[in-house]
Amino acid sequence: MVKAQADMTQRMLRYGIYLFLGLMALIYLMPFWVMLLTSLKDVEEIRSGTLLSLPGSLDLSAWDKAWNSACTGTTCEGIGPYFMNSFKIVIPAVAISTLLGALNGYVLSMWRFRGSEVLFGLLLVGCFIPFQVILLPMVRTLSVFGMANSTSGLISVHVIYGVAFTTLFFRNFYIGIPKELISAAKLDGAGFFFIFRRILLPLSTPIIVVSVIWQFTQIWNDFLFGVVFSGVDTQPVTVALNNLVNTSFGGKQYNVDMAAALIAAMPTLLVYIVAGKYFVRGLTAGAVKG
């Protein structure tokens, strides 16, 4: 009898926790639901209804306009071109910063040298430098190298700022790998890059996923670097979205604004839906150790 009551209490507690978590999830997702509903309504229905009212009929014209013909400042080409600009920036920046972070972490954990700990500490400082501090020096540097207002310049900025984080991830992950494995490879005559390519990289899948998701999210969602270092034709989607929302031609079209915001957020949303569980596994596999 006592055991049955204890089991019942545990079940009630479990259901209460699930109910609480479900309620918190609904509250957290409410803004997304409002944005989605608004993007599927026409302007008149938005004005006459409420935020949570369902659309009378599915109207995808706001999505089409947001992608193809919405005005983002002085141009009315939608956010489609800027969406592609973001991919042109994100893909190489993520790949380069992840590779450099892996190499740096490999050196700082497996090929230590005098002053390596000091160097690692200085790299950690880079994780805590506010974006605003580096704006003027970076503008001057890009100007000297002829990379101002270009896609390559913006890629370089994201790589430089992100390599401190990726180095931290990989260094802490590689510390957990047995040193005997590397020592045995050295005794067999394996060199620096052979060990990295044939031994460490195959073991690095969890932390590579962490680095890619982290960098992709940070770079895709960035606005400050995008608005400062990009030109008119190289602006990322976050800058275009800001210009669209603040454009004052004609009446305010909230459905178009919401559709554009959802389009801009879709890549990071998909990344976390598809690879979110691998992100958590990568963190628990060593990204926060050391």
| 3, pLDDT greater than 70 | no
Residues 42 and 84 in one domain: no
- 146 and 263 housed in the same domain: yes
Q: Are both 124 and 13 inside the same structural domain?
A: no
The pLDDT of residue 287 is: 44
pLDDT of residue 125: 82
* Residue 68 in domain: no
Could you tell me which residue, 8 or 84, shows the higher pLDDT? 84
Q: What CATH number is given to the structural domain containing 228?
A: 1.10.3720.10
Range of the domain at 35: 2-59
pLDDT of 77-97, one tens digit each? 889 999 999 999 999 999 999
- Which contiguous run of DSSP H or E holds residue 268? helix 254-282
In a domain, 72, yes or no: no
Task: Specify if 70 maps to a domain.
Answer: no
- What confidence tier does 177 reach under pLDDT thresholds 50, 70, 90? confident
Within a domain: residue 39? yes
What residues contact residue 239 under an 8 Å CB cut-off, 6+ apart?
Answer: 82, 223, 226, 227, 230
Give the largest Cα separation in the chain, rounded. Answer: 81
List pLDDT tens digits, range 230-283.
888 889 999 999 988 887 666 678 889 999 999 999 999 888 888 777 776 666
Model pTM? 0.85
Share of the chain above pLDDT 90, in %: 35
Q: How far is CA 28 from CA 170, 243, 259, in A?
A: 32, 27, 19
Domain count, the chain: 2
Is residue 56 pLDDT above 50, yes or no?
yes
pLDDT value at residue 2:
62
Are 66 and 78 a contacting pair, CB within 8 Å?
Answer: yes
Whole-angstrom distance, CA of residue 220 vs CA of residue 151: 14
Domain assignment of residue 67, yes or no: no
260 belongs to a structural domain: yes
- Mean pLDDT throughout 60-82? 88
The pLDDT, as a whole number, for residue 282 is 66
51 and 115 in a common domain: no
Structure tokens at 143: 């100007």
**DSSP bridge partners of 75:** 72
